[in-house]
Structure 1
Amino acid sequence: MAKRGQRRTSARSRRDVRQQTVTLPSIDSLGDVPAFADLRMDDAQRAAYQEFLATADNAEEMRAGFVVRLDRGFPLVATEGDVFRAEHAVAFAKQDAERDACLLPAVGDCVAVRRAPGHDMGVIERVLPRRTSFERWRGRSRGERQVLAANVDTILIVQALGADEVPLGRMARSLVLARDCGTEPAVVLTKADRRSGEELARDLGRVRRLVGEDVRVVATSSAAGEGVEEVRALVGPRRCAMILGESGAGKSTLLNALLGHEALATGAVRERDDRGRHTTVARVMVSLPGGGVIADVPGLRSLPLVGHERGLALAFPEVAAAAAECRFRDCTHEHEPGCAVRARHEAGEISDERLACYLALAEEMRASARALDPDVTI
């Protein structure tokens, strides 16, 4: 039987081999990478950084920076006046890879990074407090989540228009996640040139009835150059947005239009289901000319909702308020007597689109909670 020290050596060797086999793009080949000044370091992050410096070894080698790119988990960090690759400190390596995944540096994170004189690479020593954290459930238990981006101000929910009616379920799911992490959501409908004027007006009406009056909705056509400047206006200087959408939704095409050149690879969609392949393989941030910063992540096939009850209430506040007035605490708002939600719906105070999506997502969260913890009652 292998001894504990041997197991550790073996694990370290496998990690070293993996790092040697990963080919990372050169920094010189990366265009549109944000500079440190393009991103916003808030008061809480500054205070945490100063507190860390007060007790850090080799404090003169420390810099504040932002993780602006992750290539297969390898960070690119922008500090004041420099951009360089970095690795994780030993403290991160000691963390449980599953349980503490949310503590690892994510794209957009503000970090304390050490770079010794004469070294090409730095070492991320500390992740500073996150203003916002966009996370999704990773599986197994309610506590295991994956951070897709940190310190994001706006979530651009991207949905491609096609031959069929615009699907609302995925949009509502994204809206809940955006609200739950404290960001401002906006909906960007791409490929608007595929719909007639009447069809586009109908799609826009359904989307606006779903998301509500306080969520901005923009229809775009990168091919026709329409709506691009409206999207740019959503991401002002020193603000950070994240693009959220499935593969084939037109995220990379939209980003290229915002940048004004072909910076990101794009791919065709399959005709049989109008879905695309992954063209974004890294988590990247790009700086918009005259604007802020946008984070792009690989297209996500699924966005499971586990433990996002707060986000559901924030995304559908009038439904949540009515639900508190129902006669039964466990009312499903489908058939029980004394249901205030159905009463508000029948009075025209809750739209068909919002009620249908709320009920579907609420039931999904109840089912996931029961599956993870049979003793829970929702």
Structure 2
Amino acid sequence: MSSAPSVPSVAVLAAIGWPWPGTTAGDINDSAWSGLIAAHPDARPARVIEQHRTGYVVAESAGHALAVESPPEWMRRRFPAQDRAAVGDWVLIREASPRPQIAALLPRRSTIKRAAAGEHYQQQMIAANIDTVFVVCGLDADFNPRRIERYLLLVRGGGAEPVVVLTKADKDGSDAEASLAALAELAAQGIVAVAVNARDRDSVAALDRWLGPGRTAVLVGSSGAGKSTLTNTLLGTEKMKTGEVRESDARGRHTTTYRTLIPLPSGACLIDTPGMRELKPTGEEDLADGGFADIETLAGECKFRDCRHAKEPGCAIRAAIDAGTLDRARFANYLKLRDEVAGAANVLATRLAQKSDARVQNKALNKRLDDKYGKR
């Protein structure tokens, strides 16, 4: 009879992102996951630090990496991508041959996800169980307030706190004050934006308040924005490969090719991610989360409830644009994202209805077979 696996202490797990909300005692079984852990007595907890096509790398403590295999059902073509583990997830692993295997995925407290590219609706998980998302944008041709708003829309709905990090403040021609002023509408809604020189530890210290012990942060942004440089500075060593950007458009190559979770000297964990070219909404987002709460409020002040903000009388949106208190380009981006979210929501609703119908039909078919041939 095999004995139960050795469960790491909370102190050991803290170095890779523990504790979980509700865990106050020194025993992991005091957490909200005790039921799942009890259902797998032969398994022990670990955190996903790398995700690859053929499997995962997990950690049970800082500096202890272990390659593990996915559960067989995760390898099925129709298995929902969002139900597979992502970097930052907590899982239960058990011994198996030829290598340990993931036994269960533990509940998430926050996520970042997007709709995957392609004609078929899928959600792609970027990272899980994070406290802070650093939306990294260079103070060069990479600076784009509209793209920042798109990132915020995806980030805030997942339960993490966004912080806009403007890098390359040391570059000639960068104007940090003007760029921060361009994000004034976001600052008014409590979304923090900071400008840093990603190569200077004293400058990057502005991020320390979000990188305390037990916290997890993730870096998102375009290739060449400075995410890997920022990671190296926070680590105090050149761990991540960095590359030059093109002069023409400030875009860089994908020096980071997969997501990885790294413990920092501060006691926090940092997830570096490859640059993302497509940021498609899943349909579950709230436009107010994209920094558009002021526009949503204005829309509610229009004379007509179904105002399209075109030529209708008493339109508060058009009045604000005419008065110069609402940026026309920002409102155009709001409309674009509104239509994208609505379209994705319709696709998601259709898919969920199809799944529900399929379950009902399968249940009815099984009942007819049971009535005709008896239970098998």
1:100 to 1:362, Cα distance in 2 relative to 1, 3 A:
same
Counterpart Cα distance in 2 of 1:341 and 1:243: 34
- Closer, same or farther: CA 228–370 of 1 in aligned 2, 3 Å: same
Residue 288 of structure 1 pairs with residue 264 of structure 2: yes
Distance verdict in 2 for CA 1:142–1:306, change over 3 Å: farther
Select the residue among 103, 127, 146 that pairs with 2:83. 103
**Separation of aligned partners in 2, 1:250 and 1:137:** 24
Does residue 66 in structure 1 map to residue 47 in structure 2? yes
Match 1:90 to one of 63, 72, 78: 72
* Whole-Å separation in 2 of the counterparts to 1:109 and 1:322: 39
**1:55 matched residue in structure 2:** 39
**Deviation at 1:325?**
3.7
Counterpart Cα distance in 2 of 1:279 and 1:124 = 29
Deviates most, 145-154 or 132-141: 132-141
The separation in 2 between residues aligned to 1:315 and 1:272, in whole angstroms, is 30
Q: Does residue 90 of structure 2 align to residue 113 of structure 1? A: no
Query: What's the counterpart of residue 221 of structure 1?
Result: 197
Which residue does the alignment assign to 1:260? Answer: 236
State the Cα deviation string for residues 12-64 of structure 1 (Å, max 9, x = none).
xxxxxxxxxxxxxxxxxxxxxxx6322123349965642224333xx2x3101
* 3-state DSSP of counterpart to 2:69: strand
Distance in 2, Cα, partners of 1:52 & 1:309: 29
The question of 1:127 aligning with 2:105 is answered yes
Unaligned runs of 5+ in 1: 1-34
- 1:212 and 2:188 aligned: yes
Would the alpha carbon gap of residues 89 and 334 (structure 1) be closer, same or farther in structure 2, given more than 3 Å must change? same
* 8 A Cα contact 2:121 2:347, kept in partner: no
Distance in 1 of aligned mates of 2:252 and 2:78: 29
Q: Which of 136, 142, 156 is equivalent to 1:158?
A: 136
Distance 1:120 1:149 in 2: 27
1:365 corresponds to which residue? 341
**CA offsets per residue over residues 155-188 of structure 1, 9 Å max, x none?**
10000111x5831111010011111112101011
Q: Distance in 2 between matches of 1:43 and 1:69?
A: 26
Supply the distance in 2 between the matched residues of 1:142 and 1:129 (Cα, whole angstroms): 26
Identity %: 36
RMSD: 3.1
Q: Aligned in 2, Cα 1:349/1:212: closer, same or farther, shift over 3 Å? A: same
How much does 1:141 deviate? Answer: 6.9
The one-letter code sitting in structure 2 at the alignment partner of 1:102 is Q
Closer, same or farther in 2 for the Cα pair 1:313/1:213, shift >3 Å?
closer
- Which letter does structure 2 place at the counterpart of 1:91? E
The reply on whether 1:249 has 2:228 as its aligned counterpart is no
Q: 1:324 aligns with which of 300, 303, 307?
A: 300
How far apart in 1 are the matches of 2:144 and 2:290?
A: 21
Give secondary structure in 1 for the equivalent of 2:164. Answer: strand
Partner of 1:236: 212
Asked whether the 8 Å contact 1:64–1:110 carries over to 2, the reply is yes
Q: Check the 8 A contact 2:136/2:220 in 1, yes or no.
A: yes
Query: Match of 1:17?
Result: none
Give me the whole-angstrom Cα distance separating, in 2, the residues matched to 1:252 and 1:135.
Answer: 21
| Residue segments in structure 2 that go unaligned for 5+ positions in a row | 1-11, 351-376
| CA displacement 1:215-258 (0-9 Å, x = unmatched) | 12111113455521112322221111110101111110111111
Q: Structure 2 matches for 1:137-156, cutoff 5 A? A: 137-139=115-117, 144-156=122-134
SS in 2 for 1:221: coil
Give the match for residue 75 of structure 1: 56
SS in 1 for 2:245: coil
Q: Confirm or deny: 8 A CA contact 1:245 1:251 kept in the other structure.
A: yes
Aligned pair in 2 of structure 1 residues 290, 80: CA closer, same or farther (>3 Å)? closer
Alignment equivalent of 1:176, drawn from 153, 162, 187: 153
In structure 2, give the amino acid aligned to 1:42. Answer: P
- The superposition leaves residues 325-370 of structure 1 with CA deviations (integer Å, 9 ceiling, x where unpaired) of 4344443334333323334555666555653432332244356667
Residues 261 and 154 from structure 1, CA distance in 2 versus in 1: closer, same or farther, beyond 3 angstroms?
Answer: same
TM-score (norm 1): 0.77
Deviation larger for 255-264 or 348-357: 348-357
Q: CA deviation at 1:74?
A: 2.4
Please tell me the residue identity of whatever aligns with 1:130.
R
Supply the AA of the counterpart residue of 1:214. Answer: G
> Who is 2:353 aligned against?
none
1:211–1:354 CA contact under 8 A, matched in 2: no
Count residues in correspondence: 332
Counterparts in 2 of 1:294 and 1:208: CA distance versus 1, 3 Å: farther
Distance in 2, matches of 1:176 and 1:211, equals 15
1:167 aligns with 2:144: yes
